[in-house]
Structure 1
Amino acid sequence: MGLGAAAGALLVALGVLGAPPGAGAELSGVFQYMLKAECYFINGTENVRFVQRQIYNREQYAMFDSDVGLWVGFTPFGEMNAKYWNSDPAILEHKRAQVDTYCRHNYEVSRPFITERRVPPSVSISLVPASSSQPGPGRLLCSVMDFYPAAIQVRWFQGQQELSEHVVATDVVANGDWTYQLLVLLETPPRRGLSYSCQVEHVSLEQPLRRHWEMPPDAGRSKMLTGIGGLVLGSVFVALGLGFYVRKKVRAGAGGGVAAVAEPPERDKGIRTKNSNGSQNRDPPKTPPWAPKIGGRVRASSGSSRGRLRAPSVALRAHRAGSVLLPGTRIRTGGTGNGGAAPQKTLSQWESGVE
């Protein structure tokens, strides 16, 4: 009966503490009750420990430890409750069994995700700008991100020599998605010409992962060399252009002092073509401007063919009629000469005006 009265008193006390304030009253504080269960595993499920904590307003007043097998009170209220729970065999049997029913059971359920899960880290090196308190080119920061589980080792190297001093690391921080991150800063300023490496060792990696970093070349010197190279290249192009220009002017001056010689006009050169039967035809030549004007009836004869042409100009009529007057062709004019025959002249005589 005394146990029932104690339990009733506990419920009444909790109800009073948790009851809303009356009208016009103000809250004097925040009241919080927390139950926290913990499982500790050593070498898998070989050795398991179960702990349950009772907390009120951030103060732990009672705790059950499976290694002890009993409830322990830390405040007068906790001692009263611990005495009651330890006096009930059913309550003690239930709590002692939770090493198996709660811890070992949830270990098997969560093992593929918790103990067998592997997420390799992503590693990068960046140069942190120097501050007023730390002058110089800056500091090297190795960022190790998104890995699981949390156990990890990060080391800095200069060439093949490990830098164990002047290295500062943050705590392993949980990202909230079952992954972690870690930042490791090398406080020694980097020097030009040396290689630095950040080496990460993690259970998800078959071998240590390294990232290398070297001081970039001087930007001012690089710009100066680029400007000098551009100036030299531009000078070469200017010299080539002047050379070509002078050479062209010299050639033009040498060619301008020589008088051009006009070629004599070609006379009576017809264009030879072939007929389908293999014979050659000669197209009539163009009438030259120096062709003589011939009046009266004329007769043209050459070798094997003769024909009469009636035109004020023998050459022009011959050209219009399609006939050909070769340089040796004799032209007979109207009228009679000695013996009643009409005088004949060659085409060259007509051209030169020879009588």
Structure 2
Amino acid sequence: MGPGRSLGAGSRWAGALLVTLTVLRTRLAHCTEPEGRFVLQYKGECQYINGTERVRFLLRYSYNQQQTSHFDSELGLWVADSELDRIDVEHWNKDPAGLAQTRGEVDRFCRHNYGVAAPFTSDRRVQPKVKVSPTKSGSQPHAHLLVCSVTGFYPGSIQIKWLKNGQEQTAGVVSTELLQNGDWTFQILVMLEMSPRHGDVYACQVQHVSLPEPLTVRWEAQSDAARSKMLTGVGGFVLGLIFLAPGLAIYLRNKKGRPLPQPAGLLS
């Protein structure tokens, strides 16, 4: 990863509709042409610049993954990209009714769909949840991985950096692809390979449009001696509880069976 992991779309957003037609050609009697599979595709694409201030509609035709013709709303005409569709393009451009219908798709298809999707996308902001956890690296026995888990954010454009003692780290950084959760939120894991020393402070820094300022989650390396002392203290506390419990139970049982002392005036 470079100076920062920047993901997601910028100011330009495109929505595409892809329809694929598969034509199977069978061998007829007395036909020498071999059997084959041919794919005809057409794709409608909407490009939005600064909301609906400028909208561009593209309709592309492809044959066997080769674009043969396309319509561009900014030109208002069909364009032949190969000889396969040149005659068809000339016919389409001379058809006023068909050409007017295709030109109208920039409003009927693009602007309409933008209005439908805008309440869910344009102003929606969900802050990410960030968690840092260490794990052993399987590739090198003495190396460790710090995993920065960033989940539940929207929109998908996000920047994630690893810092060590305040200095950005670029070597040994690996990330997963941006994953969709199916609820209009995203998640991603960014990992840093490290060899920590006592006192090193690592930090995962996240920048997102939903955050007023970068969100930083820190992790500090501890020495083996410090971890041993901590484990020894926890173990001693647990052992103390184990020995204390039976003694307390015996004391309470003996106290319950002992007769209460009587007042001196009642013994005469």
Q: TM-score range by the shorter chain?
A: 0.5 to 0.7
What is the match of residue 200 of structure 1? 206
C-alpha separation in 2, matches of 1:74 and 1:164? 47
C-alpha separation in 2, matches of 1:87 and 1:104? 26
Equivalent position SS for 2:189: strand
Structure 1 runs not aligned, ≥5 long = 1-16, 238-272, 274-355
TM-score using structure 1 length: 0.52
Instruction: Compute the RMSD of aligned alpha carbons.
Output: 3.3
What is the match of residue 336 of structure 1? none
C-alpha separation in 2, matches of 1:146 and 1:98? 35
Equivalent position SS for 1:34: strand
After superposition, the Cα gap between the structure-2 partners of 1:181 and 1:196, relative to the gap in structure 1 and judged at 3 Å, is same
Moved more, 197-206 or 176-185: 176-185
Determine which structure has greater relative contact order: mean sequence separation of CA pairs < 8 Å that are 6+ residues apart, divided by chain length: 2
CA contact (8 A) 1:53 1:62 kept: yes
C-alpha separation in 2, matches of 1:183 and 1:89? 53
Shift of 1:226: 4.8
CA contact (8 A) 2:72 2:78 kept: yes
Aligned AA for 2:75? V
**1:269-322 CA-partner distances (Å, limit 9, x unpaired):** xxxx9xxxxxxxxxxxxxxxxxxxxxxxxxxxxxxxxxxxxxxxxxxxxxxxxx
Equivalences for residues 254-273 of structure 1 within 5 A: none
State which structure, 1 or 2, has the greater radius of gyration over its C-alpha atoms. Answer: 1
C-alpha separation in 1, matches of 2:122 and 2:156? 11
What is the match of residue 163 of structure 1? 168
What is the match of residue 119 of structure 1? 126
CA contact (8 A) 1:155 1:162 kept: no
What is the match of residue 80 of structure 1? 87
C-alpha separation in 2, matches of 1:145 and 1:200? 11
C-alpha separation in 2, matches of 1:21 and 1:175? 46
What is the match of residue 154 of structure 2? 148
CA contact (8 A) 2:162 2:170 kept: no
What is the match of residue 114 of structure 2? 107
C-alpha separation in 1, matches of 2:236 and 2:182? 54
Equivalences for residues 127-138 of structure 1 within 5 A: 127-132=134-139, 134-138=140-144
Aligned AA for 1:211? V
Alignment pair present for 1:189 and 2:195: yes
More strand by share: 2
What is the match of residue 33 of structure 1? 40
C-alpha separation in 2, matches of 1:115 and 1:40? 15
Structure 2 runs not aligned, ≥5 long = 1-22, 245-267
C-alpha separation in 2, matches of 1:61 and 1:227? 73
After superposition, the Cα gap between the structure-2 partners of 1:18 and 1:131, relative to the gap in structure 1 and judged at 3 Å, is closer
Equivalent position SS for 1:91: helix
Aligned AA for 2:163? F
CA contact (8 A) 2:25 2:36 kept: no
**1:95-121 CA-partner distances (Å, limit 9, x unpaired):** 222222221121111101122222322
**1:199-229 CA-partner distances (Å, limit 9, x unpaired):** 1111222332222212355387338845996
Equivalent position SS for 1:126: strand
Alignment pair present for 1:54 and 2:65: no
**1:30-83 CA-partner distances (Å, limit 9, x unpaired):** 333222111111111111111111123322211111122211122222222211
Alignment: residue pair count: 214
Equivalences for residues 207-222 of structure 1 within 5 A: 207-216=213-222, 218=224, 221-222=228-229
**Percent sequence identity over aligned pairs:** 43
C-alpha separation in 2, matches of 1:227 and 1:119? 40
Equivalent position SS for 1:187: strand
**1:163-206 CA-partner distances (Å, limit 9, x unpaired):** 14323434434345533222222233232222222111112223
C-alpha separation in 1, matches of 2:105 and 2:234? 78
After superposition, the Cα gap between the structure-2 partners of 1:18 and 1:224, relative to the gap in structure 1 and judged at 3 Å, is closer
Aligned AA for 2:69? A
Equivalent position SS for 2:194: coil
C-alpha separation in 2, matches of 1:228 and 1:182? 37
After superposition, the Cα gap between the structure-2 partners of 1:210 and 1:224, relative to the gap in structure 1 and judged at 3 Å, is closer
Equivalent position SS for 1:136: coil
Equivalences for residues 245-324 of structure 1 within 5 A: none
CA contact (8 A) 1:140 1:189 kept: no
What is the match of residue 10 of structure 2? none
